[in-house]
Structure 1
């Protein structure tokens, strides 16, 4: 359904202007380790996140997450271009 981003020609993203912008950011080596532009070949990851969303709301009932008997919550990182730390935010609302 969504092709892997395996070459600069797989998607129209990132284009030359995107590379130039990233190279102009403070500490571009964070985004382009060793100047490797393949680190930006993550168009497929962005498309997948659009399909599944980047946030979830889960009700809590009687002190437990209300998934039902077969529900689960997964943390998925589709961006495989380089190793990095990921963080999540948990917000609890209510009484």
Structure 2
């Protein structure tokens, strides 16, 4: 059995959930892996992100979001409204704020307001899956003609570099 690892870095946007079609990169990695039959596992190590499988909807808005993604955002806004002030949600509490402020990340200096992303955690929990598994047969991912794999960062508070891990295994 062969195992192939790869990582994608995704630059997210500020002010709205950040959607990214990662299908072409996954197809390229599948081809490069030389694995003919197996699986491709896509996962994200971020608690406010999801990867998901859906249909390409073709139509996009001015931000480049597909109309289905706009519809998803509209529904999520009703279910888990954007966190705009402390105490809007129970989370984050004072202990978590204290912990978050103690972290050091030179790319993302700690600011209390950036921790007001409770809706992003709720949306990722509701929307689900920090991973997807796709079957590979005869060197091709079985996605159907319109199936695409998307990465979404629900955290709207700042731009970031996010990671998406890929493992392809098989023969």
Alignment partner of 2:122 out of 44, 47, 51? 47
Determine the C-alpha separation between the residues in 2 that align with 1:2 and 1:58. 29
Query: Structure 1: 5+ residue runs without aligned partners?
Result: none
Pairwise CA RMSD: 1.7
1:35-94 CA-to-partner distances (Å, cap 9, x unmatched) read x31100111111111222111101112211111122110011111112211111110011
- Asked whether 1:2 is paired with 2:80, we answer yes
Determine the C-alpha separation between the residues in 2 that align with 1:42 and 1:77. 11
Tell me which protein shows more strand as a share of its residues: 2
Query: Structure 2: 5+ residue runs without aligned partners?
Result: 1-78
What's 2:135 paired with? 59
- More relative contact order, 1 or 2 (CA 8 Å, 6+ apart): 2
Q: Which runs of 4+ in 1 moved over 3 A?
A: 28-31
Residue 28 of structure 1 and its aligned partner are, at CA, apart by 6.4
* Structure 1 range deviating more: 63-72 or 84-93: 63-72
Determine helix, strand or coil for the equivalent of 1:88: strand
On the 8 A contact 1:45/1:79 being kept in 2, the answer is yes
Report the count of equivalent residues: 91
TM-score in terms of structure 1 length: 0.83
Alignment partner of 1:86 out of 154, 159, 162? 162
Determine the C-alpha separation between the residues in 1 that align with 2:94 and 2:141. 45
